[in-house]
Structure 1
Amino acid sequence: MLGIGVFLAGGHAGSMAQAQSADAAAETSEASEVEIIKTHGYSYFGNLSYPADYPHFNYVNPDAPKGGEISLALSGTFDSMNPYTRLGRAGALSTVMYESLLGQVLAGSGALPADQEDEMYGLLAESLEYPVTKDWVIFHMRPEARFSDGTPVTAHDVAFSHNLLLDQGLKSYAEAVRKRIPKVEVLDDHTIKFYFAEGISRRSLIDQVGTVPVWSKAWYEETGARLDESRMEISPGSGPYMLEEADPPRRITYKRNPDYWGWDLPINKGRHNFDRIRLDYFGNSDSAFAAFRAGEVTFRTESDAKQWASFYDFPAIEKGWVKREELANGQPPAMTGIVFNLGSDVFKDRRVREAVALGFNFEWTNKSLNFGLYEQQRSFATGTHLEAQGVPEGEEKAFLEGLAAELPETVLTEAPWEPHVSDPDRLVTRKTLRQAMKLLDEAGWPVGADGKRQNAKGEPLRIDFLASANADASDRALAENYISNLEKMGIDARLEIVDAAQYTKRERDRDYDLVFDGYPALTGTGTGLAQRFGSEAAEYSLFNPAGLASPVVDEIIEKSLLTESQEEEDMTVRALDRVLRHEFFVLPTGYAPDYWVAYWDMYGHPEPQPPYALGALDFWWYDAEKAAALKSAGAVR
C-alpha cells in the first residue's frame, strides 16, 4: 500500500523518496558509527587475560605426555547415553564428545581457563565479532573442524543444534532462550550470526550461544533420533574423545580420538592427555571404594569426610602406591545441603522451615560424623566479596529500597540469615528445641494429645525426607540423626531411602518434602540466575529443586542483568544473596574446603593447581614410568 500511495501522490513522490533516502542514509551512517569488536575470545566487560597469540593456558603442562588410562568408580547405574532428556539415567561424561563455538572445560565442570573467571576463548570458532551494543554476534568458524566420522562441522550444524534444544530440550531452557535469541542466520558454511531481542539485558547472550553443544545435523536427519528420548546410540562428536564402549549398567569407556582435528590449537595444548577414560559403576559407595582400594580403579575424589579421615590406611597407602592429596579449591562452595520443597503445604510458612532447620546441628554433625573436616556455608557466596554482610547500607540499601516488589522489612533492618550455632557435644539442646517448638506453635502446629503436632483440622505435621540408596554413609547418618531431632519436636518425620532409578524420577517430579540437593554459588550475574531462582519456570525447572518463586528475587535478577559496571553488578549480587537467604529454602550442611583426591601413583598434575578447577580429566596426565613401577611391584594389573 505504501508504494501505491507514493505513486498516486504525483508531485509529492519525489520529495517523499528523497526523505526516505535521507532516512536510510542516516540509519546507515549511524550503524557504521557503532564500534564493532573483533576478538579471539569473550568476556562481558572485554577484559581477556590471554592475547590472540597465546601459545597455551598458563597452568597446563604443554609437554604433558599423551597415553595411558584413568579410571573412576561411580555408585549407581545408567541406562542412556543421552543427557539431554528427562527420561532414563544418562551415563556420566556423556557430553564429553561434543564441542561448542567457545571452549568449555571437559564435561562442563569447573572453569575454562581454570585460572580466570568469566573468560572464554574460541574453539570451533576462531574468532567472533559483535557491536559494543551486543545486539548480535557473528562467529567465524574454523573450516578444519571435523566430526569423528570425518564430516565437516559447519554453521548449519550450529544452527541445527541451537534450534534442536529449543524444540526438544528442557522446557525451562527453551522458554528462556526463545525470548532472548529470536533469530539465528547461517551466513555461509563457516559463518553464523545470532540476533538478540531488543529491550533486554545483553548478559549471558554471547556466552549462551557460544557454549551450545554442536551436533551433526546429517546424523539426526538420517537416523530420525530425538533429543528428548532415552537412547544408547549417540551422534558423532567433534571433541577429543569418542565413546568406545557403553555397557549398562556396568561400564563406560571413552577413548582419545587420534584423528581429532584440534590437537594443535592453543586452547587444547597440555589438555586431553589420557588415551582412555574408564568409568565403572557399582551398586553402592562401599563397593566403589573397595574397587579403588583393590586397584580396579585408579583415581578417586573423596566426598565423605569420615572415609577421608578413617579409611585411607590400607596397605597400598602405606607402601606409597597410592597418593593422597588435599588440593586447594579456589571456587566458592555451592549452597548445598537439605533443600525444602516450597511447593509442599507444610513449608508454605517460613516459620515451619525455620523450626525444621533448627533440627540440624552442624557443630555436632561435623565433630561426630565428619571429624571436624567440614566448614559451614553462610551464604550463596560464602567467603567472597559477593557475600552479603550486616545491615544493608549505602548503594545496596538504596537499591533494595527502590525495588517495586514488596520487600520484607527485616531485609533492610536485620543482618542476613546465618545458620544457628549449637552445641558440638549434644545432638540437640533444650534451648534449640524450645525455639523450634515456639515457631511451630506460632505457625499453627501445636502438640496434640498423642504428642504429635497437628493443625486445626487435626492433620499431622508429616515431613518426608527423600534419599538415594547410593548416598554416602555419612549422608545417611546425617539424615537419620536429623530425623531423630525432628521427631523430638513432635513432627512425623520419615526418611525414605529409594533406589537410584526411583530417586531420579521422584526428584525430577519434585515428589519430596526434603531432599539432598542445592544451588551453585553466586559468582556474578547472568540469565542462568532466572533458571535457578526465577518464578517463571519455578514449577518445573530441574535447576530449582526448591521451586522458589519470589517477585523480589525476580526483580533483583532483572536489574542485575542491566548493570553497566563491575561494581554495580557486584552490589546487586550481594543484594540477591541477602534476599535468597531471607527466603530460606536451603539448609546448608557443610562442605570440604579443599579437593580431597587419592590416586594410584601413576599420574601427574600442574604445580600449583589452578584455582577454579581440579581438572583431573582435563589437564592431568599419565606417567608411564611410574605406572611401570607399580605394575612391576604387582600393585596394579
Structure 2
Amino acid sequence: MLAGTARAQEETIKSHGYSFYGDLTYGPDYPHFDYVNPDAPKGGEISLSTLGTFDSMNPYTRKGRGGALSTVMFESLLGEGVNAAAPADVYAEYYCLLCESLEYPPGKEWVIFYMRPEARFSTGDPVTAHDIAFSHNLLLDQGLQSYAQAVRRLIPKVEVIDDHTIKFYFAEGVSRRSLIEQVGGVPAWSKKWYEESGARLDESRLETSPGSAPYMIEEIDVNRRIVYKRNPDYWGNDLPFNKGRNNFDRIRIEYFGDENSAFEAFKAGEYTFRNEGNSKQWATAYDFPKVENGYVVKKELPDGAPPTPNGIVFNLGRDVLKDKRVRKAVALAFNFEWTNESLQYGLFKQRASFTQDTELMAVGVPEGAELEFLQSLGDLVPPEVLTEEALMPHTSSADRLLDRRNARQAMRLLDEAGWAVGDDGMRRNAAGEPLKLTFLLNSAGSATLAAVVESFMSNLTALGIEAVLEKVDASQYTLRERDRDYDLVFDQYASFLGTGTGLIQRFGSEDAAYSLFNPAGLASPLVDAIIDASLNAETSEQETATLRALDRALRYEFFMIPVWYNDSHWVAYYDQYEHPDTIPPFALGYLDFWWYNDEKAQALRAAGALR
C-alpha cells in the first residue's frame, strides 16, 4: 500500500511512516504490530548477564566503557524497539513514535516532522522540536567523528518551525538514501538538562539526560548491576506502536568477570534469561536439575535475519598485513571443520558472505544485472572479479587441527610474499625482521572462543609465524580496540539487507582511519564506487544488483577470516516468561515483546528455584 496520500497541490507526501520506495506494511490506522500479543500483561522482571565492567552511562563517546542498554531511555521521531528493531517483521520500514506524521517532497530534498504534543520526558517536561534540533547538533559537535563528518555533509540545515514542528534540509547532489531515517532516528535528549548541567556528549559520566522512553534508570552499582524500571507515567503507553510491547516492570543486568561465573549464577537463579552464544555450554552444560525438572526452559527459536559477519579481522593498517598473500596464508591456518567438530560440537555452519543466505549473497561468477553493473565501473574492477566465482572460505580436514594441504599452500604464499623460513623455523623478511602477529583477546570472553583462538595461533606458529596471544581485561580491550592496537582481533561488521549511508561508515574509505564500525580499516576505491552506486539506485532491482556486487567485492578484498554462524536463537530462561507463537524474522525481542507470567513465577519461588 502507499506510504501516504500525495497532496498534489503541494507535491508532497504526508505519512505515518517512511520507506524509501514508498510502501509500508502497516497502514495509518494499524492497531498494533502483527507479531505482538496486544493483551500481554505488564509486570515482573527480566534479568540478564553481561561480562566485563562499565564506568559510564554515556555510550555516545569513545571515552569510558558504556553500561549495558544505556541507550534504552531515549526515543526518536521514528521509533525502534528495546534493543531490537520495531517493527521486527519488516525491513527498512520506519513508523512515527515521537512524531504523529512526516511530510516530504517526492525528491526528498527535505522532511518535516509533526511531533506529538503529548510526548514527555521522564521529568514531565514536554519533548519539543527544540530538543530534537539540539540533539541533532550535539551529535555533530560532540559525537563520534565518523558519524559527525558523514552527517554534516548530508544534512546542512535544521529548522525549528514551532515547538512541535521541525524541518531538516538535505544537501544537493547527494543520494537520498538513509537521510529521512537518519534524522528520524536521532535520540531525543533534553536541551534543558544539558544546558543546566553543563554535561557534554563526549565525556564519560554516570549521570544521564532524562529520556522519554518507557524505561528509566532505577539503580546503578558500578561494575555489578544496572536496573531499569518501566516509567509508570510513560506518555506513549497507548500508542499502536507500543501495544503489546515494553511489558516488563524491570530490566536488570548483572555483571560478571567471566563466562563461567555468569553461567553458575544463572543456574543458581541470580538472573533469569540467557541468550546463549557458547556452543559448548549449549551442548553439554544444560543438564542441571532445574532444566530436567522444567524450572528452566531450553529451546531454539528461528532467526530470520542474516547472520552477523563476525570473524578474525585483519588490521589493514599494519604493513605486514597489507599484502593479501600474507592474509590468505594466515587464513589458511584457521580450520573451521576441526574447530566446529572438536570445540563447538558440530553446531555451526561456515559463513562465507556478508549477506549470508539472502538474495544479496554473491554466488558463482557475476551475471545478469550484477555483471552489467560491475562492467560499468571500468578499470576499478579487477578482471578476476568478473571471471572468477565469488570467494568462498577454504575447506579443511576435520581429522586434525593442522590441515597439511592448507599448510603447504600457506607456506607457498608466505614464500612468495618474501617471508622465508630460516634455520630456526621462523619466517623473516629480507631485512631479517620476524613475521610477528599479535591477536588481541578479551579475557572476560568465553572459554570456547579462547580455545578456538589458541588453536588457530598454534597453526600460525607451525607456519613459522611468531604468533602472540594478548589476553587483556575488558576495559583494556575496549581501549585497544578503539585505538586499533592489534594485528588480529575477533570482531564483527554489520550485515545489510539494503543500502544506506551506514555502509560508508562500515566499509568506506573516507572514515576508514578512525571509524569504530570498520575495525579492519578497509579503504577500497572499488567498494566506495559500489556503495555510491547503491545509494543512487533508482529501483529495488538496481539496488539488489549493486549490493550483491558489494558482497562480492568485500569478500574479494579479504579483510576478515569468516568463521561460523547459527540460524537459530539459543535461549534458556526460568519458566516465567512467554512469547508470541511466531517470532518475527528480525528480532528475538525478549526485552521488547515477551511478557511475564506471574502465576508461573510464584510457582518457581514456591519451589525454591529462584532467589
Q: Distance in 2 between matches of 1:453 and 1:232?
A: 49
**Aligned partner (choices 280, 283, 286) of residue 306 of structure 1:** 280
**Aligned partner (choices 62, 71, 78) of residue 95 of structure 1:** 71
Q: Which runs of 4+ in 1 moved over 4 A?
A: 31-34
Structure 1 position 520, deviation (Å): 1.2
Q: Distance in 2 between matches of 1:80 and 1:288?
A: 21
Q: Distance in 1 between matches of 2:41 and 2:338?
A: 46
Structure 2 stretches lacking a partner, 5+ long: 1-6
- Give the aligned partner of residue 54 of structure 1: 30
Matched, 1:199 2:166: no
Mapping for residues 59-70 of structure 1, pairs under 5 Å: 59-70=35-46
**Aligned partner (choices 155, 175, 182) of residue 181 of structure 1:** 155
Question: Is the Cα contact below 8 Å between 1:67 and 1:275 reproduced in 2?
Answer: yes
Matched, 1:570 2:544: yes
- Give the aligned partner of residue 596 of structure 1: 570
Question: Is the Cα contact below 8 Å between 2:335 and 2:403 reproduced in 1?
Answer: no
Q: Which moved more, 1:31-40 or 1:141-150?
A: 31-40
Q: Distance in 1 between matches of 2:50 and 2:544?
A: 38
- Give the aligned partner of residue 415 of structure 2: 441
Structure 1 position 394, deviation (Å): 2.3
Q: Distance in 2 between matches of 1:428 and 1:34?
A: 68
**TM-score of the pair, normalised by structure 2:** 0.98
Q: Distance in 2 between matches of 1:487 and 1:213?
A: 47
Matched, 1:417 2:397: no
Q: Distance in 2 between matches of 1:41 and 1:237?
A: 22
- Give the aligned partner of residue 35 of structure 1: 11
- Give the aligned partner of residue 327 of structure 1: 301
CA offset digits 1:86-127 (Å, max 9, x no partner): 0111000000000000011213x3x21111111110000010
- Give the aligned partner of residue 4 of structure 2: none
Question: Is the Cα contact below 8 Å between 1:335 and 1:586 reproduced in 2?
Answer: no
* Percent identical residues: 66
Mapping for residues 385-534 of structure 1, pairs under 5 Å: 385-404=359-378, 406-534=380-508
**What SS does structure 2 have at the residue aligned with 1:320?**
coil
Q: Distance in 1 between matches of 2:184 and 2:379?
A: 33
Q: Which AA in structure 1 matches 2:81?
A: V
Structure 1 position 561, deviation (Å): 0.5
Q: Distance in 2 between matches of 1:103 and 1:531?
A: 22
- Give the aligned partner of residue 348 of structure 1: 322
- Give the aligned partner of residue 21 of structure 2: 45
Mapping for residues 34-433 of structure 1, pairs under 5 Å: 35-107=11-83, 109=84, 111-404=85-378, 406-433=380-407
Q: Which AA in structure 2 matches 1:145?
A: A
CA offset digits 1:52-94 (Å, max 9, x no partner): 0101000000010100000011111111000001011100000
Structure 1 position 405, deviation (Å): 5.5
**What SS does structure 2 have at the residue aligned with 1:78?**
coil
Structure 1 position 345, deviation (Å): 1.0
Structure 1 position 35, deviation (Å): 2.4
Q: Distance in 2 between matches of 1:73 and 1:563?
A: 42
Q: Distance in 2 between matches of 1:428 and 1:592?
A: 24
Q: Distance in 2 between matches of 1:548 and 1:595?
A: 30
- Give the aligned partner of residue 582 of structure 2: 608
Structure 1 position 625, deviation (Å): 0.5
Question: Is the Cα contact below 8 Å between 1:405 and 1:552 reproduced in 2?
Answer: no
Question: Is the Cα contact below 8 Å between 1:34 and 1:132 reproduced in 2?
Answer: no
Structure 1 position 425, deviation (Å): 1.3
Q: What number of residue pairs does the alignment pair up?
A: 605
Q: Distance in 2 between matches of 1:395 and 1:288?
A: 50
Q: Distance in 2 between matches of 1:141 and 1:457?
A: 65
Q: Distance in 1 between matches of 2:418 and 2:609?
A: 63
Q: Distance in 2 between matches of 1:409 and 1:197?
A: 36
Structure 1 position 426, deviation (Å): 1.1
Kindly tell me: are residues 632 and 564 of structure 1, through their superposed partners in 2, closer, same or farther at Cα, counting changes over 3 Å?
same
Question: Is the Cα contact below 8 Å between 1:97 and 1:240 reproduced in 2?
Answer: yes
Structure 1 position 524, deviation (Å): 1.0
Q: Distance in 2 between matches of 1:448 and 1:600?
A: 58
Structure 1 position 32, deviation (Å): 7.7
**What SS does structure 1 have at the residue aligned with 2:467?**
strand
Q: Distance in 1 between matches of 2:379 and 2:89?
A: 38
Q: Distance in 2 between matches of 1:468 and 1:58?
A: 40
CA offset digits 1:319-378 (Å, max 9, x no partner): 110000100000011110100000011110000000000000101100001101011111
Question: Is the Cα contact below 8 Å between 1:139 and 1:193 reproduced in 2?
Answer: yes
**What SS does structure 2 have at the residue aligned with 1:384?**
coil
Structure 1 position 522, deviation (Å): 2.3
Q: Distance in 2 between matches of 1:252 and 1:535?
A: 38
Structure 1 position 310, deviation (Å): 0.3
CA offset digits 1:236-289 (Å, max 9, x no partner): 000000000111010000000000000000000000000000001011111111
- Give the aligned partner of residue 591 of structure 2: 617
CA offset digits 1:454-479 (Å, max 9, x no partner): 00000000000000011111100000
Q: Which AA in structure 2 matches 1:44?
A: F
Q: Which AA in structure 1 matches 2:57?
A: M
Structure 1 stretches lacking a partner, 5+ long: 1-30
Q: Distance in 2 between matches of 1:337 and 1:389?
A: 20
Kindly tell me: are residues 405 and 128 of structure 1, through their superposed partners in 2, closer, same or farther at Cα, counting changes over 3 Å?
farther
Of structures 1 and 2, the larger Rg is shown by 1
Question: Is the Cα contact below 8 Å between 2:315 and 2:488 reproduced in 1?
Answer: yes
Structure 1 position 404, deviation (Å): 5.0
**What SS does structure 1 have at the residue aligned with 2:349?**
coil
Question: Is the Cα contact below 8 Å between 1:405 and 1:551 reproduced in 2?
Answer: no
